[in-house]
Every structure is written in C-alpha cells, then in structure tokens.
Chains A and B, each alone.
Chain A
Amino acid sequence: MPIHETWNPERAAELIAEHVHEPGPLLPILHAVQETFGHVPADAVPLIAEALNLSRAEVHGVVTFYHDFRSEPAGRRVLKLCRSEACQSMGAEALAKQAEARLATRLGSTTPDGRVTLEPIYCLGLCACAPAAMLDGELIGRLDAGRLDTLLAEAQS
C-alpha cells in the first residue's frame, strides 16, 4: 500500500526545483507531485505555474487533460481493471461488474469508507495473459472470478 505525504508547500517546491531546469518539465513535476502526495492538490497548481512561468489555467488544463492525474486523493488502495479489447475477449466486463457489485461502487469512484478506488485502465500490455488488473503497483494477469474475489477482499481489508 502506498504511503503518501501530507500536503506541504516546501516539499512541493523541492520537487519542482528538481525538475524545473529540464526541458519540458511539467509532466515530470506533476508525476513527482502525485507520487509524493497521492494526488495533485489544488494548492500545487499556482506554485507550479509560477515556477514555470505559466498561467494557472495552463497548468490546470494539463492536469485535467491526462487521465492519470487526480485532483482529489484516491482511496487507500487503488484497483485498476483493464477494459481494453484483449481483456474484453477474456471476460473483463463480467469481472468489472463483479467488482462494482462487491464494492458497491462504480468504476471510476471510491468506496464511501475511502478504502478502495476502483478504476478502469486501458491496457497494461498484459494482453497475452488477459484479463489483467493492477492493485496499487502490483500486476495481476489471468484474472478470474475467484482471484478477483481474493483481490477485492485484500483491497477492502
């Protein structure tokens, strides 16, 4: 389970400083911020904008364009289920329904107790061991109903 730091502008400034002199530094900075704090807090946007000499709107536009960046913290665990064609061909849709039912939440949202965020992902490159999933950083191939149940239990615990 990933451990994230609580928001801290000095820490954010450090992360920005690490990358600000690279060409095209915005994505590396956003990745670093999200990796550290678990999301890109609204308070980070003006700091980044100022450091890169961009408008807040420009930074905000980039944060919202990319599916990876979240403006709100995720649940304690993040379960991503692949929804792409190769996984569809091996029954990914039924697994997604199973996960939604068991967690009583929809793909793309977090359980009310904040334990699990369930998200779609479009291809993990595990297409020859479909269906595939990722629980936090851990990859899971050849997923089936039984193994998904175990994963869900682990995620909820």
Chain B
Amino acid sequence: MIRVHVPCDAGALAVGADKVAAVITREAQARGIELTIVRTGSRGLYWLEPMVEVATAEGRIAYGPVAADDVAGLFDAGFLDGGGHRLRLGRPERIPFLAMQTRLTFARCGVVDPRSLDDYRAHGGWRGLETAISLDPATVVEAVTASGLRGRGGAGFPTGIKWKTVADAKGLQKYIVCNADEGDSGTFADRMIMEGDPFVMIEGMVIAGLAVGATKGYIYTRSEYPHAVATMRAAIEITRRAGLLGEDVAGSGRSFDLEVRVGAGAYVCGEETALLESLEGKRGIVRAKPPLPAHKGLFDAPTVINNALSVAAIPFILAEGPKAYADFGMGRSRGTMPIQIAGNVRYGGLFETAFGVTLGTLVDDIGGGTATGRPVKAVQVGGPLGAYFPRQLFDTPFDYEAFAAKDGLIGHGGLVVFDDTVDMAKQARFAFEFCALESCGKCTPCRIGSTRGVEILDRVLLGGGTDADRALVADLCHTMKFGSLCALGGFTPYPVMSALTHFPEDFGLVPHLQAAE
C-alpha cells in the first residue's frame, strides 16, 4: 500500500494540513488509487508546511508547501512515485535546513506516526528505558549527570544534580513533573515533541521516576496546546495498555503512572513553584525558595520538575550513553539544543544543533534573514524575558554562559527575528505590559513597577525620551531585578534594558556609551 505522510502538527494544521489530507484521500478515490495517509508530527521546516512526504523505493520524497489546490497537479505529476513537480523537495533529510542539524532529541519527530508504539520501537524507542531498568537507580542518575544535560526550561540547572537531590530526599511519595507550559513567544519545541513524538516524553519521565523513586508523574501543559494535549493523552493510554506504565513497568516490578494536566492561560504558571501551586488547584502564586521543589514540591513531596526538552533528551542519553550526548556542545553547555527560529524570518522552524553555533549563523545563514526581505534589526532570544540582540552581537555563540555574558539568556531556545520597521521603544513597553499582565502579584516591584514602566514608555513614545526618562527606566529595572522573587519581575529588565542600550534612537535619545544600569 502506498503511504503518504501528512503532518498533524498544530503548525501544519494552522496552514491547512487537514484539508490537504482530505483532498489527497478524495483525489485518490476518484482515481481509483489505494493509499494510506499517515499523520506524522512536523519535521519543523515550517515555511514548507504543509509538507507532504511519499514513501518511494528510494526513500521518502517530500513536497511542499502543498495547498489543497496543488493536490490534483501532484497526482498528475506522479508524486506517488516521487515524480517531478515544482513543489518537489526531494529527500527531506537532504534539505539543507535539516541536513545541517544534529537531531538527537528530535530524531523521530516528523518521521513516525506519533500514535504508533510499533513505529516508536522500530525507530529506537524504549532502549533507554531498557538500559535504565538494567542499571541500579544511582547509576542512572550518574549517567544523566555525566551527560552534562542542563535544564532546557531556561535556568540551565544540571539535571543530574536535581535528580540526585530528589533521589536522596526522604519521602514515601515522590513526583516527576514535566514542565510543558511553554509560554515563551518564539518557542514551540515542547509542542512539537508532544505532537510528533509523545512516547519519548513518556520514556523520559518513566526513566526519571525509576531513577529517583517516584511513582507518579504529571505533564503540565497549556490550554493553548489542545492538539498536544490530545496526542499526549492518547500516547499515555497506549503505553499503559502495553504495560509500560502502571503497576509493573515493563516487567521491572516497579510502578509509575502519568497524567496530563492543563493550565488555564497564566504565563507565570511556567515558573516551577507557581506550576506546582496550579497543579494543586490553587492560584499560580510563586513560592519562596527554599524549600526547593526537590525537597518539598508537589503536595509537599520531593519533586523533580523538568522542562519537556530536558525530559525528552533522557532516552537518548540512556540508550547511547552519556558520552554520546556530552561529546556535542561547547564549554559547560553540553549536548544539543532544539533552537526555534521564529518571527519575521524566511526559514522558520526547529533547528536542533550542538551548542556553539553563533546567533548570526542561525539568523542569517540558517534562517535566511527576514521574511519581509528587509534588514534584520534585532533578535529577541529566550522569550519575553530575554534580551534583544542587535547585529553587533551576532557573533555570540549559542551557549548559556556566552549569552549571560552579553546580558542576555538563551532561555528555552527561542529566537524572534524583527526587521528594521520595529520600534524598540514599543517592544520595551510591551515587555513591561506583559509583565504587568502576567505578574502573580506577590512582589511590588513586579506588580507595580511594570505598570510604572508602561506609563513612562507611553510618555516616551508620545513625545520622545529625555535623559531623565532613561535614568528612570534604568532605576526601575534595577529595582525590579533585585526586588523580585522570580524571573518574571527579575528578568523583564533584560528586554527593556537591551532595547534601551542598543537602540537609544528609538527612544528619542542619543546613543550613550555607558549602558544605563
């Protein structure tokens, strides 16, 4: 039977993938051709979505971006045998955007049927879990430490050390919580992996559970991700039926089970302690630390809380060994990072690569510059709390420390590209506005300071700024940075100050050599 792959990833659906799948089915029927449509995740080449792949004798051949209107023409061109057509892209693995990547975490995404356990196993799935079951738990934790994996949710804390803390903590009940509350604009990797390869998340969480002695896990994700929720829930059910979740995980005699919980549109619930509050059914108010979640987390029990990408990196590390992962990267940033290139960019998508690639390479060479064809003015890296980088800083390598040294952060790995029509004073205002909107309200600098920031910038946007305004903004940012409990209030100064420092002209100010901080 001919197999045609059409993504069911939300990004592909948003540009018409369902319609394309329906028209392919209809057209095949009309022509008396039997075929099966396999709904996969996305390869992450979003400018080519909907990207349709046909399994041929020479491997898969991709076509894209396919509109419903193109389908009849594709049949005429013999696309089911890989025939020539203006949308023909050839072998997907050879498309430079994909060929240049190192896909460790996303190896299967866009390739397999996300609801097929057989596909998952055939593509190397469950080997990490098998290894983990054969090792004693402390050795599993050591492997994660040795891999050098650091949290992909933003803070970059070593995952192995977090696991060891929970493993060593006393408690009858422990939890694994996966933070898939991906709220940063410019990021979509958690969504993609949940929609495209949900079993890798499950496998990562089961390994974490066995390693630290937790028997229950929660995946907390966003209400804005209904497709990810549905796929994740279906995959959990399939896994449970296969005996890989539940009372006796894969015949190991140990139990672990898993559940998806859905947030309700609060950005701050991505902060780990607010997330725990939310899981407990409360308002998402940030908790003071200590105690760390590792000691007193969900329902006061020792809890590992890890980002979805941290979790999804685990099966590879166990299956291939920590060295295979740690061999990639630079400095203290080991392994690969699924970088998300978004916004006003020609080739937007998911680019998983070893740490060390420069921002300029990502934006200009891989991203191909702006979608509008205008010059790139700024790139916001790391979500709404991340700094705006001007072209002068494009030589910064993608690495936790290198970005911190430039007063920025890599966060969850999102890049949002802006062309030269952007007004950076407006972007700074938005950073304050977003902070005001999403503040949990616990700290005055965050709750009130952000609103004051909006007011000052409204004035600047109306009549141009003065040096007094600059000093006021800098002072406000200083107060927020040092007087906030969490990074929402504490890091909002990054986008604001980077905009002000690198683009003073947009604030009606003359460049100032000393950054006003």
Q: Which residues of A contact B (CB under 8 A)?
A: 23-28, 30-31, 52, 61-62, 65-69, 84-90, 121-130, 132, 137, 139-142
Contacts and interface: CB of A to CB of B under 8 A. Distances in A.
Contacts of B183: 122-123
Contact of B14 (A26, A30, A126): A126
B49 A62 contact: no
A55 to B, nearest CB: 13
Contact of B223 (A65, A68, A86): A68
B266 A130 contact: no
B188 A127 contact: yes
Contact of B343 (A68, A90, A125): A90
B403 interface: no
14 contacts: A23-B280, A31-B262, A65-B283, A84-B185, A88-B427, A89-B422, A124-B14, A125-B10, A125-B222, A127-B185, A128-B46, A128-B342, A128-B348, A130-B342
A85 B388 CA distance: 11
B282 A62 contact: yes
Interface in B189-207: 190-191
Contact of B342 (A24, A26, A52, A127): A127
Given A89-B417, A128-B340, A27 B49 contact: no
B51 to A, nearest CB: 12
Contact of B281 (A62, A67, A88, A132): A62
Nearest to A120: B437
Contacts of A25: 281
A58 to B, nearest CB: 8
B417 A126 contact: no
B281 A24 contact: yes
Nearest to B45: A128
A85 B343 contact: yes
A65 B371 contact: no
A26 B384 contact: no
B39 to A, nearest CB: 15
B382 to A, nearest CB: 11
B222 to A, nearest CB: 8
Nearest to A25: B281
Per CB-CB distance, the 5 closest pairs between chain A and chain B, nearest first, are A26-B281, A128-B348, A141-B14, A84-B185, A66-B264
Of the candidates B190, B278, B416, the one having the most CB atoms from chain A within 10 angstroms of its own CB is B416
Interface in B91-148: none
Contact of B267 (A27, A62, A122, A125): A122
Interface in B292-347: 299, 340-345
B394 interface: no
Nearest to A67: B265
Contacts of A122: 183, 185, 265, 267, 434, 437-438
Contact of B283 (A52, A61, A125): A61
A59 to B, nearest CB: 9
Given A85-B384, A128-B350, A130-B342, 14 more contacts: A24-B280, A24-B281, A65-B283, A85-B185, A85-B416, A89-B343, A89-B344, A122-B434, A124-B10, A125-B11, A125-B191, A127-B414, A130-B344, A142-B14
A84 B188 contact: no
Contacts of B222: 125
B219 interface: no
Contact of B340 (A88, A127, A129): A127
Given A128-B341, A139-B14, A142-B15, A68 B422 contact: no
A23 B188 contact: no
Contacts of A139: 10, 13-14
B254 interface: no
Nearest to B434: A122
Nearest to A87: B185
Given A121-B224, A141-B14, A84 B266 contact: no
B287 to A, nearest CB: 15
B14 A132 contact: yes
A140 to B, nearest CB: 6
Contacts of B267: 122
A85 B223 contact: no
A104 B462 CA distance: 25
Nearest to B441: A65
Of the candidates B187, B264, B341, B348, the one having the most CB atoms from chain A within 10 angstroms of its own CB is B264
A126 B11 CA distance: 5
B427 A85 contact: yes
A125 B225 contact: yes
Interface in B148-199: 182-188, 190-191
A50 to B, nearest CB: 15
Nearest to B341: A128
B185 A27 contact: no
Contact of A126 (B188, B266, B284, B437): B188
B419 interface: yes
Contacts of B419: 89
B84 interface: no
Given A126-B14, A127-B343, A89 B264 contact: no
A129 B46 contact: yes
Of the candidates B262, B340, B343, B345, the one having the most CB atoms from chain A within 10 angstroms of its own CB is B343
A139 B414 CA distance: 21
